Structure 1
Amino acid sequence: MSKISFWVFGYGSIIWQNEDIKPIDIVDAELVGAHRSFNKKSTVNRGTKKFPGLALGLEYGGKCFGKAFQVNEESFKILKRREGGYNQIKTPNDKIKISDIKGNIIEDCIVFFPNTSGKNYLNPNTTLQEKADIIRAGGQGTKSNAKEYLKEIKGFLNEYGIEDEEIEILYTLVFNNIM
């Protein structure tokens, strides 16, 4: 087992699907300077090429609650493969920082941001209604579909008493808005 370890911030499925990375430590954490956004088309894990779903990413501005995971070098390599299509941003930096629940800054923590020049990055001007339509129309991916993924994200947030406005609106549009 490698002696080198890395901190990684999780804001989506890594929070509850982390058996493959075997975390050394997990702490409640807050990312300041970015917020969750369904901004990446998923053509494998949460949808198909013909019927893409949406996956969670981040956009600059705001903040979000999640978990910080300490992992060894081997697990970090697994995580990098798993998060293909995302850029690794090291914190703290001039735009974002991550702290534990006591307010201590977690140094050298990696955050995965979507590649904004990638073909699957969703135009930032995409409305929440358009995102909801994509989520509803998405096919069954290798892990689930985007509707189930949205339910899981909302469930996690509810468990921790976190209200995320975009997630709440998307959930309402996807599950309560029959169009």
Structure 2
Amino acid sequence: MNAQYPRVAGYVIGIGSNIDPEANVPRILDALLRHFGHLSMSRILRTQPVDMASAREFFNLAVFVETQIAPAALKNICNGIECALGRDRGDPSRALKDRVADLDILFALDPGEPLPALAQVDGVYFQPVVADIYGLLGLPVTAGGVAGVTIRLGEVSAGEVPATIHRDGRTGQIVVVEQRP
């Protein structure tokens, strides 16, 4: 897998929510669309909490945003989205608590640089959704497995299968182009 090279520069971001994820994942995606205009999105998977005492299931997914901004600027955007949705970034035990929004930069993609192997992706719950992103980028990876969770993004649905999502600059409407496996 690491012999493949991406054609575009950008970042793969891991997203999770286990506090009202049906409402908060669409809010996270909407905020990212406001910043970047379009993104590629994996399926949304239900996962059990890892390394935390909680009975709440997570919705986990990954997105690819095509951008050349610096990692620190992207981290500021991600942290801003988390805070706007109510996450307390100043709480030293926040990683052990339920969360409304969790956005982590998993890795950057640069043309000519090898891709991380899926086994190297931090968090076993992110490996199948990163495989979805690789597939959307035209790389020969198949994630397989279960269908994702469907969410509403304005007037459209997404999440069951990998998709590319755009915000129409004229109307502000969200457009989803699903990529069937």
> What TM-score comes out, normalization by structure 2 length?
0.33
Bigger RCO (CA 8 Å, 6+ sep): 2
> What TM-score comes out, normalization by structure 1 length?
0.33
